[in-house]
Structure 1
């Protein structure tokens, strides 16, 4: 049996994986908040897609990949099947997107939340074990059924809580606190699933297939960076609730302005109208007595 090391590079990979999960969770919660305030089906679909990428692509899948950088098995090198790795990404994003669609349409109720959480959690677990199946090494993988079941339960519970937070949490400290909790849940599910793994090395070593981690690192890092930058840009470019409220207030004040001016004209200083007649040919200069005389 091969010796498994989940922290080949010490605390760096788990710290980075947690940071990615928190960042993705925070962006996903903000995007999910825009779903609730969207005024059209197209806007809801757009923000749902961005939230699915933030939660599924960054908070879950990118976290999984970062944690796997610290995974090593003594006596064998680890490679990855690229199509299967890409499929695990698609599974994570699709699972979160469908879960958001379930809870985001209509009034949030317990049956919708449970159904969305179950589907999303099962999808997250499928992503994890698909990513594990993408590993290529000189050995066979085995799993402890009890710990696998526990990891799936954690995924479903965490997904249900995440969807509830996505539909209820709105801004500020609540989003930050929720992202920290979601980061713990995502990492807890990952390392629980990893603890179920055992590797039985083969006596005869065949030719290694797949791609080294170094070959996947650059494109994945670029995808994550551009994805995060795109999410931040989309959030900054789109008007927030406060922006819309401010625009509505200004528009209402502008609509009321002509009526206010007509109803309450500005007072005319004494003699100002009289002095303005001097510019007319043949006009007489008004005296103080004529100005003060009541009409």
Structure 2
């Protein structure tokens, strides 16, 4: 017997809120990725780790906000907490691999393709592992072609967003990239849900027990708190917000520490050969 699936039991509320959460996580993560390319080598890993966790948390939160509107008419839906949180951890790790590749190798060529592919696969893995944590009186089956399309959407969106994070410094451009990432991730989610069919184990009565919203909301408290803390970091770091300080020379390679005093004076931070020892103390 095939179950009657409804992914929009709250109307447009869950898709819109889910999209906004994906955009928030993407915006924070991409700003951290951009910031890492302006940091000295010892700080770069920290910014990239923060960005990876922000993107992963935002995507995971988006997924389960969208799942609040998911119901099967003939059976209650529950969630295995271990698998649900495993999807969060695995998503962050795989997104982190892609972000670190772009953060250290640059957003071009093979590095961008590899990083975008891994990040996109991380998004898809998080989605389908989270779906595997569902518990109901039936089994989930998917249309293979539609699943493949959802994975392609995730990879393309992730690659475009990482390109923007590595190549674009302006705040507005990064906001645009986060909107693209949010659109891609949300599109991937609902494309994947369109591939879903629920086959029930015999007849079942009306679902009883707590709603999906009541079950999922407590599990999202931790990731939401983390996103708020990441937002505070972004707001209180001027370089994180603007992407490039006015005191940082434009020609400087990402990750190489700047010399603000020399940049303002328009000269090299190091004395030219023969100048340092020939000048008197009064002239320095």
Partner of 2:218: 218
Alpha carbons 1:2, 1:73 under 8 Å: kept: yes
- Which structure has the greater CA radius of gyration? 1
- How far did 1:171 drift? 2.4
Partner of 2:260: 248
Tell me the alpha carbon deviations over residues 186-225 of structure 1, each in whole angstroms, 9 at most, x when there is no partner. 111110000000001111669x9999652431241x2233
- How far did 1:247 drift? 9.5
Partner of 2:25: 24
SS at match of 2:190: helix
Partner of 2:253: none
State the aligned residue count: 253
TM-score, normalised on structure 1? 0.77
Partner of 2:78: 79
Partner of 2:47: 47
Q: How does 1:1-295 map to 2 (within 5 A)?
A: 1-41=2-42, 43-58=43-58, 60-203=59-202, 213-220=213-220, 222-238=221-237, 240=239, 241-242=244-245, 248-249=260-261
Identify the range of structure 1 (236-245 vs 147-156) with the bigger mean alpha-carbon deviation. Answer: 236-245
- How far did 1:157 drift? 1.4
CA distance in 2, matches of 1:182, 1:239: 23
Q: Where in structure 2 are there 5+ consecutive unaligned residues?
A: 249-257, 266-281
Identify the range of structure 1 (134-143 vs 21-30) with the bigger mean alpha-carbon deviation. Answer: 21-30
CA distance in 1, matches of 2:124, 2:7: 19
- 1:13–1:210 distance in 2 versus 1, CA, 3 Å: closer
Identify the range of structure 1 (231-240 vs 44-53) with the bigger mean alpha-carbon deviation. Answer: 231-240
SS at match of 2:33: helix
Alpha carbons 2:28, 2:54 under 8 Å: kept: yes
Q: Where in structure 1 are there 5+ consecutive unaligned residues?
A: 254-261, 264-295
Alpha carbons 1:18, 1:187 under 8 Å: kept: yes
Which structure has more relative contact order (CA 8 Å, sep 6+)? It is: 2
Alpha carbons 1:32, 1:48 under 8 Å: kept: yes
Tell me the alpha carbon deviations over residues 49-84 of structure 1, each in whole angstroms, 9 at most, x when there is no partner. 1110111111x1111111011111111110000000
SS at match of 2:105: coil
